[in-house]
Structure 1
Amino acid sequence: MQQTPMTAAGAAKLEEELKHLRSVERPRIIQAIAEARDLGDLKENAEYHAAREEQGFIEGRIKEIEAKLSHAHIIDVTRLPPSDKVIFGATVTVLDVETEEEITYKIVGDDEADIKINLISVHSPIARALIGKSTGDEVTVAAPGGKRVFEIVEVQYLA
């Protein structure tokens, strides 16, 4: 399988979730299943079936996170020499030429993307347009509302 780019912060967040699932959620659900078993007939035991279903979700999430981490290509931009070039993991401030509004985006992996906090996927149209460009360059992005032109104001390699 192909490696997927991920920031060091994104990998740390997934590792933290994995640790929580293994050390807190898994033992909690095992205890819940044991308690439900003690209630008697398993065929009509809603608590037992709910706990088993939750166990399936937890085990599935553990396997999903393990797979993502095993195929992750972790990129820590703070270890790279500073540059004005936009790369994966860079924090980019752009100026919308039409509205003159400044927006700051961080280019991250697909699993880390959250537009509400300006984390955009490396595969998004904006990120694809920005990658490889430098401070002062103008880029045109095909957005759902039409083409938008951005000027790159600043590129930072932050954690």
Structure 2
Amino acid sequence: MQKSYNRSKANLGKQLERLIDMTHHQYRNKGVADIRKVPTPVQITSNNRGKVTGYTQTGEWVDYVGAHNGKTIVFDAKETKLKSFPLENLQPHQYELLKSWREQGAAAFLIVQFTKLHEEIYLLPFKILQEYWEDAEKGGRKSIPHSAFIERCDLIKSEGGVTLHYLKNIRRCLV
């Protein structure tokens, strides 16, 4: 199925993605971790003398996968301009992938940036995401309030020469 291109969403998450990519470069240079961005799949529709046309497909993966201290890491990066994180920002297949990998012992989580409200970036462990997701499926709240991030999640900051030093809090994603 062809997906239309929405210019208003074209750069959504690009700033956060750049910060995470810089962080991963720093982690690799320090020998701390090797975490890579999963490319968005592209469906090529034609190739006429070097002129390629196509469209991006809905990915079946999350944004990032890698390893740190012998543990697999899998996560997605999300942004919200709201005072809460809408669960609809995470696709069901992304949730299921995080759940499956978490059940196999991986550190699974989201990195969520609140862009307008506070410019804060949090690490949301899968366990907390799962609580809200399952409650929403039962007719409960369809978003995670900012206050829950403040109370239950780790704020990610620059530290030790690393742009977004989220790995220092990764142990919370393994319990």
**Same fold at TM > 0.5:** no
Higher helix share: 1
- Per the normalisation by structure 1, the TM-score is 0.27
Q: Which structure would you say has the larger RCO, counting Cα contacts within 8 Å and 6 or more residues apart?
A: 1
Higher strand share: 2
Determine which structure has more spread, i.e. the larger CA radius of gyration: 1
